[in-house]
Structure 1
Amino acid sequence: MSNQAQETREALGARLRGFRKDAGFTSGRALARALNWQESKVSRLEHGKQNASEQDIRAWCTATRHEQHIDDLIATVRHIDELWLEWRRQVQTGAETRQKKSLPVYAKTKVFRIWHPNMIWGTFQTADYAAEIFQQAVSFLEYPNDTEVAVGKRLERQRYLYEGNRIYNVLLGEQALYSNVGGPEVMKAQLDRLLALMGLPRVSLGIVPRAAATEIWLGHGFSMFDDKLVLVETYSAEFSVTQPREIDLYAKAFALLKQSAVYGTALRDLVLTATRHFDQMPND
């Protein structure tokens, strides 16, 4: 769970603890008896060790005579859920919905800062590369296979590369040029796409070479939208970072990673070397 989600959960627990004391329940045990709960559940909720359900909030506020706060606290619970969303929940009906959800974020963002250490960023992907990524996700997360429509929604983002005055600052690790997604032909087309994107006036594409001296560990990939939102993907979930001090850390990390990146001719040479690698690889 992200730091912000945990802090929000702890703040919610503190409010619940205040409600309990205001109502005259001098201990968690007393409230647990009134709610017919385990005492340990009251303690976990008050200390932010357990997610509160909407039903928990209603029961707690009713028992402590704070019914007027139910709607506010339920909104807080839903916000915590939004900060950390399991992939299985997001794609339970397929990947198209999640892809569609990202479009408004892309539409209103003016400056993108993107870091992917080992794969090509979604907006830069070819249709075949994206299809392979979605197929891997279908197999791994076991959700309904809607790859074709999901790819279509992902490719819709690419129109923002050509519209408005958006700035794209994108860093890829050199490994992203070699991670074999879909086989040699798919990879060669994807690498050719990267070379074409280099020519776009509002795209700044850098590669962090494998042997580059680094100012910070390469860590996980992230996508930063202006100074308002950072999305981080893990195998199990995606979490949103919206707290200013955490966003500042991601901005600092991006700046440090950028110091290790190469651009222009040096970048082109890395891409062409990777292309030759796949040229020499037999097709299955």
Structure 2
Amino acid sequence: MSTDHQQARAALGVRLRELRESCPGGRLTGSALAEQLGWTQSKVSKLETGRQTATAEDLRAWAAAVGQPETEEELLARLRGLESRIRSWRRQLAAGMRPVQDVHNEAQAHATVLRAWESSWIVGVLQTPDYARAVLSSFARLHRTPRDVEEAVRARMKRQEGLYDSGRCYQILLWEGVLRSRVCSPAVLAAQLDRLQGVIGLDTVSLGVVPLDAVLKIPPGVGFWIYDDRQVVVETWHAELWLDDADSVVTHLRVWQALRESALFGADAQRLISRARRALDA
């Protein structure tokens, strides 16, 4: 968890303690508040010390219990600010995978220049339906989400409409390893590689591939998107990071540029894709 996130959660905890200690009817003890809410005292303590992230329901209940319902919106705004940076998969996927795809569709629809680096799989905007189905199914199993994979696949395919918008510019970098990663069946991967071959001809897309044997100025690291040099989205196993502070954006731009210097484009990228495709038939 990032230091910024820890600080924001701790600040929310301080505010919760302030509200408990300034009840209109007199100061409430932590144990009295816990009893009133039907919680354990340890939960109250963890929320106030920033060791546990409150839910929206927790905050509504807290504001009412301390006799200050007018603070509910303030507390919820603090939570939204905290979650705007780190969005746990547990919370995001509680309603299924389709809503997550819709959020990304909306974010990409409002961007003009989209830069990406991916070292684990083909980026969603370039995926075939079968490849997307295989990847999304694996994450549904991992996170034990409601099985709305088909709806999520359809939503992800809708995102690809942006590839044919002349006002957009996609600058995508892939690690060569993703061309060979068997996250799906060989037949599905073969079709996905054929799809990449065709994407290289689109005037809205610049697709670069970083060879496995390339000299790198920086380790590959995790994948990320940069939208209009103003927002970064990084995906980890437990959460997504949505970052819009200047330092984070500049750092990821520097990483992306360093990786781009090791990438191959055009006919050279085509050859790497073709080599991976032939290996499936060997």
The unaligned stretches of length 5 or more in structure 1 are: none
The answer (yes or no) to whether the contact 1:208–1:260 under 8 Å persists in 2 is: yes
TM-superposition CA deviations, 1:128-152 (whole Å, max 9, x none): 1111112222332233333322211
Aligned match for 1:32, one of 17, 30, 33: 30
The answer (yes or no) to whether the contact 1:2–1:241 under 8 Å persists in 2 is: no
The answer (yes or no) to whether the contact 2:210–2:259 under 8 Å persists in 1 is: yes
The unaligned stretches of length 5 or more in structure 2 are: none
SS in 2 for 1:143: coil
Alpha-carbon shift at residue 159 of structure 1 (Å)? 0.8
Worse overlay, 268-277 or 227-236? 227-236
Alignment RMSD (CA, Å): 2.9
Aligned match for 2:126, one of 124, 127, 131: 124
Aligned match for 2:257, one of 248, 255, 258: 255
Match of residue 11 from structure 1: 11
- How far apart, CA to CA, are the structure 2 residues paired with 1:57 and 1:139? 31
One-letter amino acid matched to 2:33: L
Alignment TM-score, normalising by the size of structure 2: 0.84
Match of residue 244 from structure 1: 246
Match of residue 213 from structure 1: 215
The answer (yes or no) to whether the contact 1:2–1:83 under 8 Å persists in 2 is: no
SS in 1 for 2:184: coil
- How far apart, CA to CA, are the structure 1 residues paired with 2:94 and 2:48? 31
The answer (yes or no) to whether the contact 1:118–1:174 under 8 Å persists in 2 is: no
The answer (yes or no) to whether the contact 1:2–1:239 under 8 Å persists in 2 is: no
Alpha-carbon shift at residue 64 of structure 1 (Å)? 7.4
Match of residue 54 from structure 2: 52
Match of residue 135 from structure 1: 137
Match of residue 145 from structure 1: 147
TM-superposition CA deviations, 1:183-224 (whole Å, max 9, x none): 222112111111111111121111111121212221111122
- Percent identity for Structure 1 against Structure 2: 37
- How far apart, CA to CA, are the structure 1 residues paired with 2:239 and 2:227? 19
- How far apart, CA to CA, are the structure 2 residues paired with 1:139 and 1:59? 33
Alpha-carbon shift at residue 72 of structure 1 (Å)? 0.9
TM-superposition CA deviations, 1:133-190 (whole Å, max 9, x none): 1222233223333332221111111110111411111111010110013222211211
Alignment TM-score, normalising by the size of structure 1: 0.83
Q: Closer, same or farther in 2 for the Cα pair 1:239/1:107, shift >3 Å? A: same
One-letter amino acid matched to 2:255: A
Q: Closer, same or farther in 2 for the Cα pair 1:114/1:3, shift >3 Å? A: farther
Q: Closer, same or farther in 2 for the Cα pair 1:259/1:79, shift >3 Å? A: same
How many pairs are equivalent?
Answer: 276
Q: Closer, same or farther in 2 for the Cα pair 1:4/1:242, shift >3 Å? A: farther
Q: Closer, same or farther in 2 for the Cα pair 1:141/1:44, shift >3 Å? A: closer
